[in-house]
Every structure is written in structure tokens, then in C-alpha cells.
Structure 1
């Protein structure tokens, strides 16, 4: 059976990002829990993170990233007809962050929805935006990945608190006859979802009791094993499905979870680490914001260029995977 051809009318026309001013370095972490700069760098690749101010929330980071995009590209938002925000740490579960954005920027008649796909959220939102543009009903969509993970991090848990930071990135997608998205891949391993979660109302997942403290809980060893096993399969699947080889890639942009994961995946797939864009060293693990922050850093360094073949790969809580093969159009 022949694979269905991926359809796209989505083109990237503007991009923006924002990180809070406060820096939380590894030296600072040494004053919070029993750890060391050497231990953190060896096991994660993280040197520092950005932390939202006490009165700074997810919506504030979204607003700042969008204003950064407007300053860089002069983007007009009045005709945006849908807003998608990927986040696991919203100010409020409702109203949504997307509705907050609509109000803040005075956007008229548009749809608004938040996406909860954890670290795969930004890529999932891009995939959904492409589908909305394909209908022909929508022509201009804001896609935001934003997190204030510091507000849901347990700073007494030395195995997780060293990981997480805050930030936001935004992409403006517009309908075009020559879409930039080439191919898509998704996978979910919900049977393992109790290995990484933030508790809320329920006291169990998959029959397993969970810690009801509202903070991020992760079994790092199991998540690592899952990621280094699953990602090479997913990368092979998307590249083969759409007629490409990893050697064709100009850039691989995985979720910046942990450099040990990224190094292992690169080794297994043959993707040079030098062709990998991350935000882990400067910003830590920012979940749905990590991929747009990595792209923003690459743009500032003039590394990524118009026409480059780019593979975005989100993975994490769920346990979910979402990949998108695209041509860079900025």
C-alpha cells in the first residue's frame, strides 16, 4: 500500500522568542540541593536556566515572545484567525493562554485553543496548524510554545529540579500554495505515562499511585531508556516515508531534554551532533518552549538559513512523540 502524500499549505513567515531575565546557574543550584556544576553538566549538558519572576506567568512570556516577533518582522496580527498555545504550565487552565493572547493583542474573530502535549507540544501545535490551513478556512495562525516550569518544579527533588527552566517561542504560519512542511510523524506510549507526570485530581495513572503535590515527577532512568529507544525508530520512519536520508538534513532540532539523550540518538541515527540545534545549555529543559528557543538561538547566530532541510522532534510526557520535516522559510 502506497503511503499517503503529506499535504501542506503552511509557510513560516515570522518568529519570536523570550526568556525571563533571572538566571539560575549551576552554582546557584549548589546552594539549593546537594549537587555540583560538574555533576549537572556531565549528566544533562545544562549550565544555566532562566526563571520567571514571582509575578511573571506563562501568559506574560507569551506576550513578550509575540512582541519580540513583531519587533523583528513587523508582523500584523489583526487578521490572525487562529491561536494555538502549547503549554503544561498555564496561569489558569481556563481561560486559556490563547484566549489571553487574543485579548492582549486585540485580535478580532479568531479561534483559540491550548494544546497539552508536554514536551511534544510545540511540534504538535504546528501539525494541527497545518491541518487548519489545509481546510482553506484559516489563513494565518499563531503557534506558541511557552512554559513557566519553575512554578511547578519541586526544588527539594535534586533529580528533577536541576533540569527545568522558563521561556517562550512563537511562530507565525500563513497559508501558501507552496507549503514548507514536508512530512509528519506521531507516536504515543501512554502505557508508560506514569514515568513522567504532573499530578492534579487523580491519585493514580495506569493503576500506579502518583504523588499528589502538583509538581513535576519524573523517573529519569525510564524516560531516558524510552527516548533513546523510540526516537531513532521515529526518525527512521519519517525520513524513509518521505524519501529522505538523515544525511540530507541540514539541522536536527530535538526537544532539549538532556544532552545525553540527544548524543545517544545522534549516535544511533548517524546525525552529526554538529548538525543539532538545542537550547539545553543556556535555558535547561523548557518543555514546549525548548524547540522554538533552539531555533531562535540558531537564527541569532546565523546558523539556520532559508531553504535548509530541518527535522523538528518533540518528545516527552504522555509519553508522546511528534516530528515535523520542513524547509526553513525565513
Structure 2
């Protein structure tokens, strides 16, 4: 990423690590990433399930606009395959955990910097924190889960916690002076084919405005949206001036929309 952008490590003012799975509990995994890259700038982690990267973009945008930093590197790296090695006792438990078992291993990085060209045009975030219990990965270092990591996943409750969150997208776009038909590419979090199809139908998003990634990469969690951007570039689906909407949904539950001009 730095080589492609023709940047050296000392040109990064801030590094944010935004994955679900950190390499260690303490310190922030951002320190490990910075050390490997030779970056000596301030660093910290941001964690909000699959919306970590979106929230990191929101923070980076605010910090750059405030003049605190000029160039921010956002990094995520997931090792979700560790969940596939958790013991499964029976078919019922397999059915319950199946969505978790599709989480993949992937890394992604973005650079945000101050510019006089349009870039990030606006963002909108919302939460329904009453749904936090519907998808939980326990912390083996904290009681009552000492010594064990387990997954609690309730698909019906998780779906209910997301109910209606997509309706905020058209309203948020209107506050930014845009409408759904203006968007050239929608990047939508893709934890499953069915989930993505449901969201696209609810928002009336045409299939040709979405990059499908789940069938090949599984649930890319925090890297899902950057992956779709990378694939759009790879396949020639993005041109300068295109409007891109990044829409994320994450357990907790939270939803986030970021609007960009490419």
C-alpha cells in the first residue's frame, strides 16, 4: 500500500488498526503493525465488530478536517479461521454457528489524507445496542469466561437487531444532497449471499452496482468494504468522479454509511 502510494513510513501521521481480531489483548495491535512497517507516528486500535474500518474512516476524516493529522493509514487484518477450529458438539450447534464458520482470513489497508479534491463527502452512523447479546465472542481473559473462548450466535435475534437500519440510507444521502440513483457503486457488508440480497432488495440497489465477494472470500468482516473497493478497481468498475456508498452492518448492532467521490 505504501509503495503503491509512493509514500515512506515517516510520511504517515497516524496509524489506526480496526480489526475484529487483534493479535494480542494488550498492547494495541496497531503498535505491532507500526513496528513491522517502520512507522513511528501515533497509533491506536478501533473496534466495533465488522464496522471497525468504517468507524476508523469517520475518525480519520474528523481528525484530518480538524488539522490534527494530514495523512492517516487505516489497517485491518483478520484471522477468522480460528473460529472454525472451535469444537462443535452436534448438528444443532453446527447450524447455529454456521455463519461464524464462514469468516475468512484477510487484510486490507486504506490511506486518507488532506486534499483539495473531493473525497469523503459525508457519513452517518446509528446503533441498536439492545441487540449486543445476539452475536458474542467471549473474552477468555475476563470472568466468567476465564480460559475459554466461545461464540454465542443467535441468527434470528441478530437479524431482528438490524431491522430497519437500512432505511436510514436514503435519508442520510438526502442530508448530503444526494439520492439513491446518484450512486455509481454500492459496497455493502456481505456476511452471506442471502443477507446481501435482502439488503439490496430493501434499498432497491441494482445488481450491477454491487461487487459480490462472499462466494469466493466468505465473510471478510472489517475488510469486506475495502475488498469490494479493491475488486471494483481491479475490474475497471470505478472511474474518477464516481459516487461510492459504503454501507456496513455489524453486530451490536450498528450501521454506518460513508459517501465518497472516487
| Structure 1 partner of 2:20 | 88
| Structure 1 partner of 2:217 | 283
Q: Distance in 2 between matches of 1:216 and 1:307?
A: 42
RMSD: 2.0
Runs of 5+ unmatched residues, structure 2: none
Distance verdict in 2 for CA 1:327–1:215, change over 3 Å: farther
Once the two structures are superposed, what CA deviation does each residue of 1:255-275 show, in whole Å capped at 9, x if it has no partner?
A: 111221221121121111221
Residue 212 of structure 1, CA deviation: 8.5
Distance verdict in 2 for CA 1:221–1:274, change over 3 Å: farther
> Secondary structure, in 3 states, of the residue corresponding to 1:197?
strand
Matched, 1:117 2:51: no
Q: Does structure 2 retain, via aligned residues, the 8 Å contact 1:183–1:326?
A: yes
Which of 62, 73, 77 aligns to 1:142? It is 73
Q: Does structure 2 retain, via aligned residues, the 8 Å contact 1:254–1:313?
A: yes
Q: Does structure 2 retain, via aligned residues, the 8 Å contact 1:140–1:172?
A: yes
Q: Does structure 1 retain, via aligned residues, the 8 Å contact 2:83–2:100?
A: no
Distance verdict in 2 for CA 1:226–1:272, change over 3 Å: farther
Number of corresponding residues: 252
Residue 174 of structure 1, CA deviation: 0.9
| Structure 2 partner of 1:186 | 125
Residue 213 of structure 1, CA deviation: 4.2
| Structure 2 partner of 1:40 | none
> Secondary structure, in 3 states, of the residue corresponding to 1:243?
coil
Q: TM-score, normalised by structure 1?
A: 0.71
> Secondary structure, in 3 states, of the residue corresponding to 1:87?
coil
Residue 279 of structure 1, CA deviation: 2.3
Q: TM-score, normalised by structure 2?
A: 0.89
> Secondary structure, in 3 states, of the residue corresponding to 2:106?
strand
Distance verdict in 2 for CA 1:299–1:192, change over 3 Å: same
> Secondary structure, in 3 states, of the residue corresponding to 1:304?
coil
Residue 164 of structure 1, CA deviation: 1.0
